[in-house]
């Protein structure tokens, strides 16, 4: 199958202080995307400080020694731009999208907070309260809150790094101190632990000078040693059932370990395609079987990584399937059907056109996502951070198209019940 390739240019440099820079110019529209990604995420949190990576993301928007609180908001929005940040398992990102003429403004703002956010007791306590309210809204008081991204890891994994609640416990958040915040910044927010990417309408030579002007004097601090998060695969199924007082209907999720997404990307990629074969669209295996034919599920989804960031996660990670069920639905029946469909793929292969149809849809999504400047700036920053290969973004549509039916069958055959972590939600509405 012929998949059109993107050819976004990639230029890389490293400043003397260790900051890695990726530039990908595109003069087709007068807009730029700027992303700074730090190699610190949920898995980096120490015990007793659950939720700290996300809490610190909030603190990075509370001003600096040079700018008052909310100045970042005012400067970006005043230029007609937008901004945000997010915390993931293995990184934290910050980004702006602005008119091309405001590029220097974004570079100044990111360099300013890379030197140091305004860490005060008032800011810390205020943002602890904000994060606690997020937990109340998004987890505690929402049906299926944290399902499965917060609830399944402690079933699948045994180590604190991989299994703990990345949103954080109220006790840990309340006990966070300014000394903790300062140590976290000094350790993980070093320029040697970050990448900066600029995508869109800019002149490369001029932008390099701007980057050197604003980031060149940020104090050099090396990246901390990255911990090894490895742990053994499951040798027997692990299962947990819990009651969600707000859930109106039952649900079930299952996860399996997969090959290392960075060290063994060729073996990992077939699982990404397999997830789509099983769940993407009305013609996919599990949607057709569970939703349309058997009516044992109302929705089915499949993806790689607990946060759905299949190309931006380190090992260990997981292949996930989840389903919401009708009233009185049988989770065990759904799991048996999943096993049957995996066996059919492992032994009988795919129907004519099934794989090519799936690959075409996946390539279309990849091409669409990279059309926007932020769709290049953010993933290229992470690809540089984790792999040293931002140009992989151009190669992904072709690599997806190169996955074979035999590789899909091999991947399906590995997803056995004995390697599965399962999480079942029992509805408790009105209780």
- Residue 348 burial (CB count, 10 A): 9
Q: What is the pLDDT of residue 429?
A: 59
Q: Per-residue pLDDT tens for 128-184?
A: 999 999 999 999 999 999 999 999 999 999 999 999 999 999 999 999 999 999 999
pLDDT at 80: 96
**Domain 11-215 in CATH 3.30.1280.10:** no
**Running DSSP on this structure, what letter comes out for residue 371?**
T
**pLDDT of 324-371, one tens digit each?**
999 999 999 999 999 999 999 999 999 999 999 999 999 999 999 999
In degrees, to the nearest 5, what angle opens at C-alpha 163 toward C-alphas 162 and 167? 100
pLDDT in tens, 29-61: 999 999 999 999 999 999 999 999 999 999 999
| Residue 65, pLDDT score | 86
What's the pTM value of the predicted model, to 2 decimals?
Answer: 0.96
Place of tokens 């008032």: 122
Report the DSSP beta bridge partners of residue 87: 92
- Classify strands 194-200 and 299-304 as parallel, antiparallel or unpaired: unpaired
Q: Are 97 and 32 in contact (CB under 8 A)?
A: yes
- Is the pLDDT score of 431 beyond 60? no
Look at residue 1 in the predicted model and tell me its pLDDT: 62
Residue range(s) of every CATH 3.30.830.10 domain in the chain: 11-215, 238-427
Write down the CATH number for the domain with range 238-427. 3.30.830.10
Note the pLDDT tens digit of each residue in 271-305. Answer: 999 999 999 999 999 999 999 999 999 999 999 99
Measured between alpha carbons, how far is 84 from 72 in angstroms, rounded to an integer? Answer: 10
What is the average per-residue pLDDT within 84-107?
98
Q: Tell me how far apart the alpha carbons of residues 250 and 430 are, in angstroms, rounded to a whole number.
A: 14
As a whole number, the mean pLDDT across the chain is 96
Check residue 4 and give its pLDDT: 78
């Amino acid at each position: 199958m012929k998949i059109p390739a993107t050819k976004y240019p990639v230029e890389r440099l490293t400043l003397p202080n260790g900051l890695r820079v990726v530039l990908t110019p595109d003069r087709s529209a007068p807009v730029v995307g700027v992303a700074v990604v730090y190699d610190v995420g949920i898995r980096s949190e120490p015990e007793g400080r659950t939720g700290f990576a996300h809490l610190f993301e909030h603190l990075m928007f509370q001003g600096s020694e040079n700018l008052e609180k909310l100045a970042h908001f005012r400067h970006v929005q005043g230029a007609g731009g937008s901004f945000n940040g997010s915390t993931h398992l293995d990184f934290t990102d910050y980004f702006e999208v602005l008119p091309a003429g405001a590029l220097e403004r974004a570079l100044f703002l990111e360099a300013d907070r890379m030197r140091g956010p305004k860490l005060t007791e008032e800011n810390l306590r205020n943002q602890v309260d904000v994060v606690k309210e997020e937990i109340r809204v998004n987890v505690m008081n929402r049906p299926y809150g944290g399902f499965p991204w917060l609830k399944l890891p402690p079933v699948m994994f045994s180590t604190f790094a991989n299994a703990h609640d990345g949103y954080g416990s109220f006790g840990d958040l309340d006990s966070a101190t300014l000394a903790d915040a300062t140590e976290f910044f000094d350790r993980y927010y070093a320029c040697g632990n970050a990448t900066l990417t600029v995508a869109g309408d800019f002149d490369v030579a001029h932008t390099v000078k701007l980057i050197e002007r604003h980031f060149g004097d940020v104090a050099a601090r090396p990246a901390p040693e990255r911990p090894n998060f490895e742990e053994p695969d499951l040798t027997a199924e692990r299962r947990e059932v819990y009651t969600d007082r707000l859930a109106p209907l039952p649900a079930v999720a299952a996860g399996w370990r997969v090959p290392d997404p960075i060290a063994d990307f060729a073996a990992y990629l077939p699982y990404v395609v397999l997830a789509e074969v099983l769940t993407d669209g009305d013609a996919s295996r599990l949607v057709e079987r569970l939703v349309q034919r058997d009516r044992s599920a109302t929705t089915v989804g499949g993806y790689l990584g607990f946060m759905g960031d299949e190309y931006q996660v380190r090992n260990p990670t997981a292949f996930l399937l989840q389903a919401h069920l009708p009233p009185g639905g049988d989770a065990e029946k759904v799991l048996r059907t999943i096993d049957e469909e995996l066996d059919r793929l492992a032994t009988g292969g795919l129907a004519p056109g099934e794989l090519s149809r799936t690959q075409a849809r996946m390539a279309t999504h990849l091409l669409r996502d990279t059309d926007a400047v932020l769709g290049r700036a953010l993933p290229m920053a992470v690809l540089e951070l984790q792999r040293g290969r931002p140009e992989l973004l151009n190669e992904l549509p072709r690599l997806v198209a190169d996955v074979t039916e035999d590789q899909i069958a091999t991947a399906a055959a590995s997803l056995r019940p004995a390697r599965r972590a399962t999480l079942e939600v029992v509805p408790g509405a009105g209780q």
